[in-house]
């Protein structure tokens, strides 16, 4: 192939490509959703990594009459927030909610 033929072929290939416009609002919304999902996943993983005392859960369940799930989640959140939080603080959160 000659240089002229190669140049012509290259021009024909690049001419076919059409630029697509991106809706920036939709792109920003998609990025926000991805970030939100990532943050939610990271928080769930952090909460799952926290160890809680079975006795603390039972105390909150019996005294405040909440489900085990609520008691466990509250204890885990307090532990993350307060770097090892306590039962009293967790109980107050459940009462306030």
Structure tokens at 26: 């939709």
Q: How much is the pLDDT for 13?
A: 67
Q: How much is the pLDDT for 62?
A: 86
Q: How much is the pLDDT for 79?
A: 78
Q: How much is the pLDDT for 88?
A: 66
Give 84's DSSP letter.
S
Kindly list the averaged pLDDT for each block of 10 residues, start to end, along the chain of length 97. Answer: 80 63 81 86 83 84 86 82 66 71
| Dist. CA 55–CA 5, nearest whole Å | 81
Q: Are 60 and 71 in contact (CB under 8 A)?
A: yes
| Dist. CA 50–CA 94, nearest whole Å | 18
Q: Which sequence spans correspond to the domains of the chain?
A: 24-96
């Amino acid at each position: 192939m000659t240089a002229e033929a190669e140049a012509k072929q290259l021009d024909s290939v690049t001419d076919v490509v059409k630029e697509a416009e991106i809706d920036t609002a939709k792109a920003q919304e998609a990025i926000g959703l991805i970030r939100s999902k990532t943050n939610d996943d990271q928080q769930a993983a952090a909460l799952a990594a926290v160890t809680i005392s079975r006795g603390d859960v039972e105390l909150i369940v019996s005294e405040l009459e909440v489900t085990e799930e609520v008691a466990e989640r509250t204890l885990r959140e307090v532990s993350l927030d307060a770097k090892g939080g306590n039962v009293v603080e967790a109980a107050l959160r459940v009462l306030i909610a």
